[in-house]
């Protein structure tokens, strides 16, 4: 028996912390039908001009009981009140089965930061648990799973050390951050050492919002507006702050990936190019951007979670197909056919589709797939 098979067999009958493994850990097991193995339903490989396109989902989630439970009475507020909530606690075989059904070769996992309001010791412990478990999970399926690390961004000096560990010790693809840190934009000067370290290490910052808390009272009522409006709005603000505060001039090689298509920015970006001309008094004369605000969109990356072909066409026209990659928010079922979403957008060229499906993410995140 090979060393790889021995490791797989051992892991398949045990637990890794709170990760439960069923059957083989690396390759999904199939149900039996009359004594014969029958593959589970899955999307066939995506072929473009006779070549199989690699597919990478950069926006997927998980949680770990051990770190979550450190929050005590706050746990009910943190758990997503959605379809797919239970599946955040990954059973590897089931997650791989879901990926196969959607035609996804590789997922990049992340955990929305629920620890920004905690003290330093607790935040450090939560992030350590998350990053250790993310690393262990990815090691069990290295060509199927990657991850963005957790960092305590409310303590920038600690976040720098955690970022170094994420990219070195744990071998992760970058870090997941919120749209703000307790209402403070991470374009603020005190976060610059963290941004400088991210640029130095080539770490991707995956921005995932958690609503816009300042508008909570207006979001009340029908429609889950705290998410449907609050999430994309928070990302829009975060990106515009990075642009207008000169972050991309100060850190020109900084890699930023924005969830949910970058919020509302891609739909109304040209207004940015006129604001300081129309009202100079509302702009900072000490910040002179090197480019038009909209031009910075061509160095930011966006997931394709915009739901319709027309929205995806418009996003690509604004930021470039080279800046877009798959994002589903899985296991929350916002987008259950990510391949069809991209393949069904006729304005995209074949090269565009190949790039968005996988090659953009592979290049950005240095993936081995």
Q: Can you read off the two tokens belonging to residue 288?
A: 């002179």
* CB-count burial class (<10 Å; 0-12, 13-18, 19+) for 187: buried
Q: Could you tell me where the beta strands, DSSP code E, fall in 305-362?
A: 324-325
> How crowded is residue 139: how many other Cβ atoms within 10 Å of its Cβ?
15
* Whole-number Å distance between alpha carbons of 296 and 306: 20
Q: Helices 156-167 and 120-140 meet at what angle, rounded to 10?
A: 10
Which of the 8 DSSP states describes residue 214?
G
> How crowded is residue 256: how many other Cβ atoms within 10 Å of its Cβ?
24
Give the CA radius of gyration of the chain.
21
Q: Answer for the pair 263, 231: CB distance below 8 angstroms, yes or no.
A: yes
242 bridge partner residues: none
pLDDT computed for residue 80 by the predictor: 84
Q: Answer for the pair 60, 109: CB distance below 8 angstroms, yes or no.
A: yes
* Whole-number Å distance between alpha carbons of 71 and 89: 16
3-state secondary structure of 249: helix
* Whole-number Å distance between alpha carbons of 291 and 296: 7
Task: Please give the domain boundaries of the chain with CATH numbers for all domains.
Answer: 46-365 (3.20.20.140)
* Whole-number Å distance between alpha carbons of 123 and 113: 10
Which of the 8 DSSP states describes residue 198?
H
Distance of CA 13 to the CA centre of its chain: 30
pLDDT computed for residue 41 by the predictor: 73
pLDDT tens-digit profile, the chain (369 residues): 433 333 333 333 333 444 443 333 333 333 333 333 344 578 999 999 999 999 999 999 999 999 999 999 999 989 889 999 999 999 999 999 999 999 999 999 999 999 999 999 999 999 999 999 999 999 999 999 999 999 999 999 999 999 999 999 999 999 999 999 999 999 999 999 999 999 999 999 999 999 999 999 999 999 999 999 999 999 999 999 999 999 999 999 999 999 999 999 999 999 999 999 999 999 999 999 999 999 999 999 999 999 999 999 999 999 999 999 999 999 999 999 999 999 999 999 999 999 999 999 999 999 998
- Tally of CA atoms within 13 A in the half-sphere of 293 that contains its CB: 21
């Amino acid at each position: 028996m090979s060393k790889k098979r021995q490791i797989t067999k051992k892991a398949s009958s045990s637990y890794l912390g709170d990760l439960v493994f069923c059957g083989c850990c690396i390759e999904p097991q199939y149900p039996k039908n009359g004594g014969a193995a029958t593959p589970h339903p899955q999307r066939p490989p995506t072929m473009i001009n006779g070549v199989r396109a690699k597919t990478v989902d950069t926006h997927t989630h998980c949680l770990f009981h051990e770190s979550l439970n450190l929050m005590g009475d706050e746990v009910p507020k943190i758990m997503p009140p959605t379809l797919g909530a239970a599946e955040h606690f990954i059973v590897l075989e089931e997650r791989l089965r879901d990926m196969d059904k959607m035609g996804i070769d590789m997922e990049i996992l992340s955990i929305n930061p629920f620890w920004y309001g905690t003290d330093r010791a607790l935040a450090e412990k939560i992030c350590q648990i998350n990053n250790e478990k993310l690393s262990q999970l990815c090691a069990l399926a290295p060509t199927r799973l990657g991850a963005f690390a957790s960092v305590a961004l409310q303590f920038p000096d600690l976040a720098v050390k955690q970022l170094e560990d994420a990219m070195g010790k744990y071998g992760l693809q970058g870090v997941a951050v919120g749209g703000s840190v307790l209402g403070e934009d991470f374009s603020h000067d005190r976060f610059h050492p963290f941004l400088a370290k991210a640029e130095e290490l080539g770490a991707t910052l995956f921005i995932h919002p958690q609503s816009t808390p300042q508008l909570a009272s207006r979001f009340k009522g029908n429609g889950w507006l705290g998410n449907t409006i609050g999430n994309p709005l928070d990302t829009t603000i975060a990106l515009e702050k990075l642009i207008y505060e000169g972050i991309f001039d100060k850190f020109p090689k900084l890699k930023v990936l924005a969830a949910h298509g970058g919020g509302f920015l891609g739909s109304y970006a040209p207004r940015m190019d006129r604001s300081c001309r129309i009202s100079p008094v509302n702009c900072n004369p000490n910040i002179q951007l090197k480019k038009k605000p909209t031009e910075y969109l061509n160095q930011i990356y966006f997931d394709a979670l915009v739901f319709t072909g027309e929205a995806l066409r418009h996003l690509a026209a604004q930021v470039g197909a080279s800046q877009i990659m798959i994002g589903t928010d899985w296991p929350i079922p916002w987008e259950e056919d990510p391949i069809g979403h991209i393949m069904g957008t006729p304005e995209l060229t074949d090269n565009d589709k190949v790039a968005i499906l996988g090659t953009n993410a592979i290049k950005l995140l240095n993936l081995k797939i």
